[in-house]
Amino acid sequence: MGRKIICVAALVVEGLDLVVKMSELEKFEAVHPDVHVLLSTVRAVRVVEDAWPELRGIRAPGTGIPGVIAVGTRRGSFGKDFAVVHGRERAIVVELDGAAYSRIILTAQDADSIEAEIQRRLMPTTSVLPSTT
C-alpha cells in the first residue's frame, strides 16, 4: 500500500510578516520558497467557500490541474497572485497593496480562525491618554 502525502500550507503571522509556510512538496510544486509579505501591505482578508473562482491569470511558474491543484505564481494584467489551492476546500484570500503579490489564495480547513488571527493582528492598537482636566 502506498503512502499518502499530505500537503498543508499554513498562513501564519511572524513578527511583522505574513508568511505562507509550505511543505517541501508544495515548494516543489510552486517552484518557490515560503512567501513573506509585510503585514502592513495587507488591505483585506476574507474567507471563500471555493478558491477556484478566485484564481486569475496564468500559472507561471507552478503546478496546476483544474479543480485539483493550483500551486504557485499566477500572472496577468493585475500583476501577480500566489496560490496554494488543493481540492475544493474553503480558502483564505488576502488582498495586498505594495507587496510582490496582489493577492494570496490558500485553502485551509481552519479558514475562519486564520482570518480572525490576521484581522486581530491588523487592528490598530489604541491607547487611552490620561485626562489633563
Amino acid 132: pLDDT: 56
Amino acid 2: pLDDT: 52
Residue tagged 512538496 (cell numbers): 25
- The DSSP secondary-structure symbol of 74 reads E
Q: By CB neighbour count within 10 A (0-12 exposed, 13-18 middle, 19+ buried), where does 77 fall?
A: exposed
Q: What is the pTM of this model?
A: 0.86
Per-residue pLDDT of the chain (133 residues; tens, 9 = 90+): 555 455 679 999 999 999 999 999 999 999 999 999 999 999 999 999 999 999 999 999 999 999 999 999 999 999 999 999 999 989 999 999 999 999 999 999 899 999 999 999 887 654 455 555 5
Amino acid 133: pLDDT: 52
